[in-house]
Amino acid sequence: MSETDLRRIKVLLIDDEPFIRVTLRQILIQIGIPPSNLYEAGDVKAAISETLRIRPSVVLCDIHMPYDDGFAYVATLHRAPIPEVANTPVVMLTSDSGEEAVMTAKGHKVAGYLVKPVSIAGVKKAIERAMKVTLP
């Protein structure tokens, strides 16, 4: 793994709870990712639009949201005709530690699975694994 410049990482946060997005934003800023590189979406439709617009380096995505869930986002992402988009690493970030959710995530070939509440170290490690990099 090579050390990555944090100024080059773009992160998309997908969660229907604004408080969770604010908390994740604060964690990512503490890790060293500039606020200008943090993007948010409150639902799957907005998330797909943002993904196509910004081409994030990594996505942190909730599972349980109104309308479509995080797995619908991942399935749509993997079907994208643009390889750069289709191969975007996604870390599921959820309070659901149940076997069914974990197995569904594995079936969708997500890059990571974090159970809320999360720590700064846990988020950093998940991003490193998902992107196959070392963060400073």
User: Whole-prediction pTM value?
Assistant: 0.94
pLDDT digits (tens, 9 = 90+) for 84-102: 999 999 999 999 989 999 9
Helix 120-131 × helix 18-31 angle, to 10°: 80
What is the CATH number that goes with domain 6-131?
Answer: 3.40.50.2300
pLDDT tens digits along 105-119: 999 999 999 999 999
Dihedral sign (CA 95, 66, 130, 103): positive
Q: Where are the domains of the chain?
A: 6-131
How far CA 26 is from CA of 23, 30, 32, 67, in Å, comes to: 5, 6, 10, 27
The per-residue pLDDT for range 13-29, each reduced to its tens digit, is 999 999 999 999 999 99
Gap between the Cα atoms of 1 and 36, Å rounded: 25
